[in-house]
Amino acid sequence: MSDEDEHALFLQAIGDVRRLDAPAEAPPKPKPRAGAGMRERDEQAALSEFKQVMSQTILDPGDVSSFRRDEVSTRVFSRLKRGEFAVQDELDLHGLRLEAAQALLREFLRQVSAEGLGCVRIIHGKGRNSDGVPVIKNFVDQHLRHRRDVLAFHSAPLNQGGTGAVVVLLKRR
């Protein structure tokens, strides 16, 4: 049987056909949601600044970590130093490698800021297992100084971790 015969037989078998219009074009893909580009740029700037400052200001294991923005009164800062604020959440970084600690700290601060928490504790350890320099402690200290949502922080009271942790006051949304 030839191709023409097969084609004729096929047309006879299916009967009358109606050609369909070309399908409509698919709707355009939705535009991606706006990301938190400004926050990510701020964090990158803080990290690069940390690397730059790290060579200048280095905290030793027993050094107190302390910072206060001008908008925080000395009375409030004194209360923070004494541990009079209720800690609403906590992050434990000690024993981690720097890269993992950096990622966890950023995510933790993003999360507690979104939740509107006002006071958190970050345990960074004293750095006794580091080669002389408490790397995570210094990173936490410098990173917190450069975040706009951090109002103040101070090494925790002895019963909350002492110089191996900081208590942080955050801006509430």
| pLDDT tens digits, one per residue of 3-59 | 888 888 887 888 877 777 777 788 888 887 766 677 777 777 666 665 555 555 788
159: number of Cβ within 10 Å: 7
Q: Is residue 82 part of a domain?
A: yes
Q: Which domain holds residue 104?
A: 59-170
Confidence of residue 62 (pLDDT cuts 50, 70, 90): confident
pTM score of the predicted model: 0.67
Residue 131 lies in a domain: yes
- In this structure, the number of other CB atoms found within 10 A of the CB of residue 69 comes to 13
- 171 vs 66: CA distance, rounded Å: 17
Give the model's pLDDT for residue 47. 64
Per the domain annotation, does 63 fall within a domain? yes
- At residue 51, the pLDDT reads 59
- CATH number for the domain that contains residue 154: 3.30.1370.110
Q: Is residue 44 part of a domain?
A: no
In the 8-state DSSP scheme, what is residue 159? G
* Spacing of C-alpha 141 from chain mean position: 15
Is 32 inside a domain boundary? Answer: no
- Tell me how many domains the chain contains: 1
User: What is the mean pLDDT of the segment spanning 125-142?
Assistant: 84
